[in-house]
């Protein structure tokens, strides 16, 4: 081990090997297999997975800025037991089927996540389709989910004096949460984009390589 | 700074130096300013990172705390904590220790350190701007790479200079023999800029499509631990344990196996962060196998570190350096073996996505790496400044605050995380997620208590650090500051 160049070559080779194996091989393999391309579903005449809408794209940016990924994953895992069986994530209603690589190709930046301080969000648009619920929950999670440890995001909302007609977008807040009389709480554009993004999170299509969806 | 021709001559090992072999104190002298810049800034970042940590930890059981400030929302404070302790504290401390070790072991002076002063300043400037950017919301949403893209080129250039300079220092080595610590340092200094530049390109500047991002992300993030911090921590342990005890390491030949097994297997282990996820099963299995194979280098290192220490526990207990480093080395063994176990599918299905993983990350980064850095600093500063540590009491507070604090931290989150994982997998008895979340609160509160204990230790450390810098050098000091002065070292008073 006193041979400098040999030591250096070994150091170079080991990192090159892991990068080629983990990153490059998978990149080539997935590209070759066409797993990075969307499919055309003949029955519904739709492209799956569907491209993200503009609103959802902006909402994804808010999701990134606020660091949602540090507490919420976005992946329905396969069954981890040796004999197959149903996935716990599917049982918990995180989604109707485990996710596969192709599900993420339209996402741009992906948010697989590594933590479930809060629940998985890959299909939150399917599980909780109500805009009102999400707005209240983001304004203060205690309104919809008492004792939650999720932080409130009051800065995504604006409390303002009602001038003329109340806004149709104003949050329906009651009891302690209600603003003073003559005032209303309305979501900012960021809150609306974020909710649009959350509602867009749904794996509601089948793929040939993915396990069948459960009903 | 010097002119170009002299610089070219200086980095050419064929250049004859005036003296055949530099003396130890000359070598220390040549690294002094550099080491003080990196270690001094690392201490400041340690405090900054601790403040972010406490805010984030408090928020997890009191979500209303500071919740009206977007800059301080959990997702940002937590990220500011991670990036300040990783790129501010741990990297700065690691660089300071590495250069000092590399120059000593290569028995050569550090040349043209001016370039390193500039890189050090640039690195720290980038961390300041980057942390500000994260709090502002400019961060990249990629774990461990959150610094905004406007600072990462500066980080890369300043680090690349540091890495190249470390390798040049190694090329100037004197004598036939290279010591095991040098292999690890050389490898770490080379690996980090590679990891960082590839991850930046493939995740930030030209992101790849879909789940390849996740694979690149965890190849990078786990390797920052495995190929950057771990080798520096092991290099320092391999140096200080035999050095302070005055006896050779247990089996020098085994260390060769340990080094190459780490280089070969650690690289692949990162995929275990994606077990069960939407990535090919073969690459998950490869990650699991590599994680298990890590048992080999860990056992080798354990044999060398622990069997060297056996029989000298009294010395370990009396020496601040060794008390920290041996605590770190013991936790390296423990954290690594647990880490290998966590990659098993059956264990992973419980611990994945829980606070168990957070506990494990701190076990590796703090109980091992950070404690080894503390121990190294306790050895280095008196030699760099030619003064002794002013107060054994402060060092004691530092040791007990951090050692007890981090142990409580890891134990609390491991138990809490395990319960959380078991409940998440038991849909029948725990159908409501909120119920599981509420059950983690007491463990998260225990984490805050642990964090406060660690913070007390850090304050004692920084007070010591500032004190030794400003105190006057006295002639009476002839013995080092130890916890208990052994009879052979006591000063004659008559």
* Segment 156-215 of chain A within 8 Å of chain B by CB: none
Is the pLDDT higher at B401 or at A4? Answer: B401
Is there a single domain that holds both residue A21 and residue A116? no
Residue spans of the domains in chain B: they are: 24-471
- What angle, rounded to 10 degrees, do the helices at B230-245 and B91-105 form? 50
Is there a single domain that holds both residue A108 and residue A182? yes
CA torsion, ordered B149, B150, B152, B153, to nearest 10 deg: 120
B10: confidence class by pLDDT, cuts 50, 70, 90: low
Per-residue pLDDT, averaged over B107-123, amounts to 90
Architecture of the CATH domain B24-471:
Up-down Bundle (1.20)
B59 vs B74: CA distance, rounded Å:
7
Mean residue pLDDT of chain A comes to: 91
Q: Report if residue A209 sits inside a domain.
A: no
Q: Helix, strand, or coil here: B276?
A: coil
Is there a single domain that holds both residue A43 and residue A9? no
pLDDT for position B494: 43
pLDDT for position B1: 41
Low-confidence ranges of chain A (pLDDT < 70): 1-2, 80-84
Q: What is the pLDDT of residues B126-164, one digit of tens each?
A: 999 999 999 999 999 999 999 999 999 999 999 999 988
B345 vs B288: CA distance, rounded Å:
8
Contact criterion met (CB below 8 Å) for A166 and A184: yes
**CA of B295 vs chain A CAs: smallest distance (Å):** 18
Is there a single domain that holds both residue A64 and residue A129? yes
Is there a single domain that holds both residue A78 and residue A2? no
Q: What is the pLDDT of residues B66-92, one digit of tens each?
A: 999 999 999 999 999 999 999 999 999
Q: Report if residue A129 sits inside a domain.
A: yes
Is there a single domain that holds both residue A89 and residue A10? no
Q: How many residues does chain A have?
A: 215
Q: Enumerate the residues of chain B whose CB falls inside 8 A of the CB of residue A15.
A: 191, 194-195, 223, 227, 267
Look at A73 and B67 and tell me if their CB atoms are within 8 Å. Answer: no
Q: Enumerate the residues of chain A whose CB falls inside 8 A of the CB of residue B441.
A: 149
pLDDT for position A188: 97
pLDDT for position B486: 59
pLDDT for position A78: 85
pLDDT for position B476: 62
> The CATH number of the domain where A154 resides is what?
1.10.760.10
Look at A71 and B74 and tell me if their CB atoms are within 8 Å. Answer: yes
Q: Which domain holds residue A5?
A: 1-33
What's the token pair of residue B245?
């005890």
- Nearest residue, CB atoms, A100 vs list B59, B76, B278: B278
Q: What is the pLDDT of residues B352-385, one digit of tens each?
A: 999 999 999 999 999 999 999 999 999 999 999 9
Contact criterion met (CB below 8 Å) for B222 and B291: no
pLDDT for position B5: 56
- Nearest residue, CB atoms, A11 vs list B139, B263, B279: B263
- Nearest residue, CB atoms, B207 vs list A67, A109, A148: A109
pLDDT for position B14: 54
B145 vs B157: CA distance, rounded Å:
16
pLDDT for position B411: 98
Burial class (CB in 10 A: 0-12, 13-18, 19+), A31: middle
Q: What percent of chain B has pLDDT over 70?
A: 93
Q: Enumerate the residues of chain B whose CB falls inside 8 A of the CB of residue A112.
A: 211, 214, 274, 277-278
B2: confidence class by pLDDT, cuts 50, 70, 90: very low
- B206 part of contact set with chain A, CB < 8 Å: no
The yes/no answer to whether this complex scores an ipTM above 0.95 is no
């Amino acid at each position: 081990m006193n041979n400098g160049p040999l030591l250096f070559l070994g150091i170079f080779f080991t990192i090159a090997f892991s990068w080629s194996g983990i990153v490059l091989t998978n990149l080539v393999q997935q590209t070759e297999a066409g797993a990075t391309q969307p499919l055309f579903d003949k029955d519904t005449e739709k492209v799956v997975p569907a491209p993200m809408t503009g609103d959802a794209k902006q909402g994804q940016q808010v999701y990134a800025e606020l660091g949602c990924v540090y507490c919420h994953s976005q992946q329905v895992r396969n069954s981890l037991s040796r004999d197959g069986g149903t996935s716990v994530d599917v049982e918990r209603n995180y989604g109707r089927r485990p996710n596969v690589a192709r599900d993420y190709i339209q996402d741009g930046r992906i948010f697989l996540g590594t933590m479930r301080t809060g629940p998985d969000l890959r299909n939150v648009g399917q599980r909780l389709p109500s805009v009102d619920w999400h707005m209240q929950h983001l304004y203060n999670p205690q309104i919809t989910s008492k004792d939650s440890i999720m932080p409130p995001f009051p800065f995504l909302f604006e409390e303002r004096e009602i001038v003329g007609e109340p806004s149709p977008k104003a949050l329906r807040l009651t009891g302690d949460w209600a603003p003073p009389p003559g005032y209303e709480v309305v979501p900012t554009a960021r809150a609306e984009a974020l909710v649009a993004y959350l509602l867009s999170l749904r794996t509601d299509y089948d793929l040939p390589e993915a396990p069948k969806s459960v009903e | 700074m010097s002119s170009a021709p002299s610089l070219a001559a200086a980095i050419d090992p064929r250049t004859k130096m005036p003296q055949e072999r530099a003396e130890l104190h000359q070598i220390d002298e040549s690294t002094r300013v550099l080491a003080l810049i990196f270690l001094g800034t690392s201490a400041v970042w340690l405090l900054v990172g601790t403040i972010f940590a406490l805010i984030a930890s408090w928020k997890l059981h009191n979500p209303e705390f500071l919740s009206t400030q977007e800059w301080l929302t959990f997702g940002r404070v937590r990220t500011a904590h991670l990036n300040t302790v990783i790129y501010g504290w741990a990297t700065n401390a690691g660089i300071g220790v590495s250069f000092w070790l590399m120059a000593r072991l290569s028995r050569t002076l550090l040349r043209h350190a001016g370039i390193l002063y500039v890189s050090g300043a640039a690195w720290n400037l980038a961390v300041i701007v980057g942390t500000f950017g994260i709090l502002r919301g400019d961060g990249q949403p990629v774990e461990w790479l959150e610094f905004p893209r406007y600072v990462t080129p500066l980080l890369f250039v300043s680090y690349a200079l540091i890495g190249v300079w470390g390798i040049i220092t190694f090329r100037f080595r004197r004598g036939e023999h290279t010591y095991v610590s040098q292999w690890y340092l050389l490898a770490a200094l080379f690996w980090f800029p590679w990891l960082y530049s590839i991850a930046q390109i493939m995740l930030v500047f030209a992101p790849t499509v879909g789940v390849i991002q996740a694979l690149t992300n965890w190849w990078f993030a786990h390797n920052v631990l495995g190929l950057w911090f771990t080798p520096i921590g092991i290099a320092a342990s391999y140096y200080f344990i035999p050095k302070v005890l005055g006896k050779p390491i247990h089996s020098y030949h085994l260390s060769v196996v340990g080094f190459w097994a780490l280089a070969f297997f650690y690289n692949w282990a990162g995929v275990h962060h994606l077990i069960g996820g939407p990535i090919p099963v073969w690459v998950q299995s490869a990650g699991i196998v590599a994680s298990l194979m890590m048992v080999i280098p860990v056992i080798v290192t354990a044999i060398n570190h622990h069997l060297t220490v056996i029989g000298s526990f009294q010395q370990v207990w009396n020496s601040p350096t060794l008390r920290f480093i041996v605590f770190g080395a013991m936790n390296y063994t423990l954290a690594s073996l647990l880490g290998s176990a966590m990659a098993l599918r059956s264990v992973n299905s419980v611990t994945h996505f829980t606070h168990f993983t957070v506990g494990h990350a701190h076990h590796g980064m703090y109980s091992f790496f950070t404690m080894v850095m503390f121990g190294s600093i306790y050895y280095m500063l008196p030699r760099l400044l030619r003064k002794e540590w002013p107060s054994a009491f402060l060092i004691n507070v530092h040791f007990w605050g951090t050692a007890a604090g981090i142990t409580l931290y890891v134990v609390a989150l491991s138990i809490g995380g395990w319960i959380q994982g078991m409940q998440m997998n038991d849909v029948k008895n725990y159908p409501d997620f909120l119920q599981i979340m509420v059950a983690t609160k007491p463990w998260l509160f225990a984490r805050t208590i642990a964090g406060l204990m660690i913070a007390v230790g850090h304050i004692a450390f920084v007070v010591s650090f500032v004190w030794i810098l400003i105190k006057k050098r006295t002639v009476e000091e002839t013995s080092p500051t130890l916890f208990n002065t052994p009879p052979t070292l006591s000063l004659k008073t008559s």
